[in-house]
Amino acid sequence: MSVRPVLLWPDPRLTQPCAAADPATIKALVGDLFETMYDAPGRGLAAPQIGVLQRVFVMDAGWKDGEMTPIACIDPEITEVSKETATGPEGCLSIPGVTAQVRRSVWVQMRFTDLAGVRQERRFEGAEAIVAQHEYDHLDGLVHFDRLSPEDAKALQCSYEAAQ
């Protein structure tokens, strides 16, 4: 396991949809993702953020505030989302220093394979729901700017570019 460099927006790899996970490299990839996420320090990290275009993300939504609960999601798919939404602040390790107010479903149901190779179905709520949806977006080539109005996205992009 090693800490890998995190790609910064507007790296074009962050806008590309990802392919299925490669079983031959998955354990090493997940290890690197966790090492990099905790080192950053972040609450989630997707494979494309370290330049690997595979459908894999890791998360630990509460580790900064309490107990560590690491979750690896391999080839995840969203099966259901709540109709109720909420807007809240989101940051991104690939867009450092920029926080966006993003509207997300308050819960999300996902099916994914865990690191042991077991297919899981899990409902994420609260902070876990936000992190899971954010990281899932990365697998489809989306960043949180893409969830904003064009005006808000442009304003945040300009402030990010000015700070770089």
Catalytic annotation, residues: 135
Query: Using alpha carbons only, what angle is made at residue 49 by residues 71 and 51, rounded to the nearest 5 degrees?
Result: 120
Name residue 113's amino acid. Answer: T
Q: Which two tokens stand for residue 37?
A: 């996420």
Write the DSSP assignment of 102-136 as a string of letters.
EEEESEEEEEEE-TTS-EEEEEEEHHHHHHHHHHH
